Structure 1
Amino acid sequence: MKSIQIKNIKKFMSDALIHETFDKFTISEATVKTAVSFVIDGKINRDFFGGDPDLPEDGSDSEESVSAAKDSSAKGNASGEFYREPFIKYGKIRHILFEIIKGKRTPVFFRLVFHAPRQLTEQILAEADTGFTMRDVNSLTFTATFKDGGLTVTTGTNLAAFSLDKSVDEAWDKYMEKYMEQFD
């Protein structure tokens, strides 16, 4: 776990709300406190899609996403279950957060909980040569918290079982430190 102080808050907010900088990540929660509080649960509600077996990984219903989901549904894991991202891609709800946050007044508080998508998690595990597999990692996360005029990004890892080996944590922390350098 690493805490990274964001120096260029204006650029971070512009990238988070207007640009595609964070769109590859999924988001499990967004909490924004302005005149009222808003809480968005990013967990994909599969019932909304009527049990469609071709539900895209990101919860969208574009033809391209459905096609990609069909291609990936042939690849099950060892337990016979098919992998699906549990949370919506940030890019699908970014415009909603923009509408909530835009205006002359800065929010009193916000917290955005992002998750690395499967492909990025696999990449980090491979590059770090940790010995861990996707089965060992529940999630790689980072939480952006704006409070008292400051913005902090905190990394986190959630392993399937307890381990004294911190190589996954270190690899994720290193990746996020480099990713957040653009906001120095």
Structure 2
Amino acid sequence: MVSYIMNTKNCMSVLLLSSRFDNFSFISGEITTYCTFQIDGTYHPEFYPDNENESPEPYVRWKQVREYCFSLIKGKQTPLRFHFILSLAPDQIESLLQNEGLPYQTSDIKGLYLNFRFDGTRLTCTTGTSFHTFVLDKSLEHTWDSMVTKIFTQKGLEFEENR
């Protein structure tokens, strides 16, 4: 599902200045202003001595990089472009599967993604579903698209769907 964000400024405020997406995993990001900044969201536990912040998840949460991304974007000039890939966190994927009665295990799913892309004029968000193996069943994809519609509505984001 592709959603055209109707109010870019409001969406950026929700994404960068609020905690509403903080529990999503941050996969990667790219921000182009006076140069291009690329951010890989892979968690590196060896950075912390004595594993004091050890995380069983492969990616950091959005809340850990949100302020850094905001610091790169804020200013008088609009970024030339940016792209953020977020994913529903593993514990939330497990809850979704159980609540919706879907026939999958968390280990079957590589990610349920939100791709926020700004091209200099328009902000879009594309959903994505990825499994570790090939799957013909589209029930999870449809459930994720419906959930994203609800999330956007709850978070006050105005959008127009293009399925």
Partner of residue 92, structure 1: 64
Instruction: Give the Cα–Cα distance (whole angstroms) in 2 for the partners of residues 116 and 47 of structure 1.
Output: 24
SS at match of 1:20: coil
Judging changes above 3 Å, is the alpha-carbon distance between structure 1 residues 19 and 46 closer, same or farther for their aligned structure 2 residues? same
Equivalent positions of 1:94-133 (< 5 A) are 94-133=66-105
Equivalent positions of 1:1-184 (< 5 A) are 2-50=1-49, 52=51, 55-57=53-55, 84-181=56-153, 182-184=156-158
Decide whether the 8 Å contact of 1:25 with 1:114 is kept in 2.
yes
> Which has the higher Rg, Structure 1 or Structure 2?
1
Instruction: Give the Cα–Cα distance (whole angstroms) in 2 for the partners of residues 132 and 93 of structure 1.
Output: 30
Decide whether the 8 Å contact of 1:140 with 1:172 is kept in 2.
yes
Instruction: Give the Cα–Cα distance (whole angstroms) in 2 for the partners of residues 14 and 3 of structure 1.
Output: 20
Decide whether the 8 Å contact of 2:25 with 2:87 is kept in 1.
yes
Spell out, residue by residue over 1:16-56, the C-alpha distance to the aligned partner (whole angstroms, 9 max, x if none).
Answer: 1111011010101110000111111110112212573x643
Partner of residue 161, structure 2: none
Instruction: Give the Cα–Cα distance (whole angstroms) in 1 for the partners of residues 152 and 4 of structure 2.
Output: 9
Instruction: Give the Cα–Cα distance (whole angstroms) in 2 for the partners of residues 90 and 151 of structure 1.
Output: 18
Query: Gapped runs of 5+ residues in structure 1?
Result: 58-83
Spell out, residue by residue over 1:89-115, the C-alpha distance to the aligned partner (whole angstroms, 9 max, x if none).
Answer: 111111111111001111010000001
SS at match of 1:86: coil
Decide whether the 8 Å contact of 1:25 with 1:90 is kept in 2.
yes
TM-score (norm 1): 0.80
| Paired letter, 1:15 | V
Query: Gapped runs of 5+ residues in structure 2?
Result: 159-163
| Paired letter, 1:105 | Q
- CA drift of 1:122 comes to 1.2
State the aligned residue count: 156
Decide whether the 8 Å contact of 2:78 with 2:120 is kept in 1.
no
SS at match of 1:105: coil
SS at match of 1:88: coil
RMSD of equivalent CA atoms: 1.4
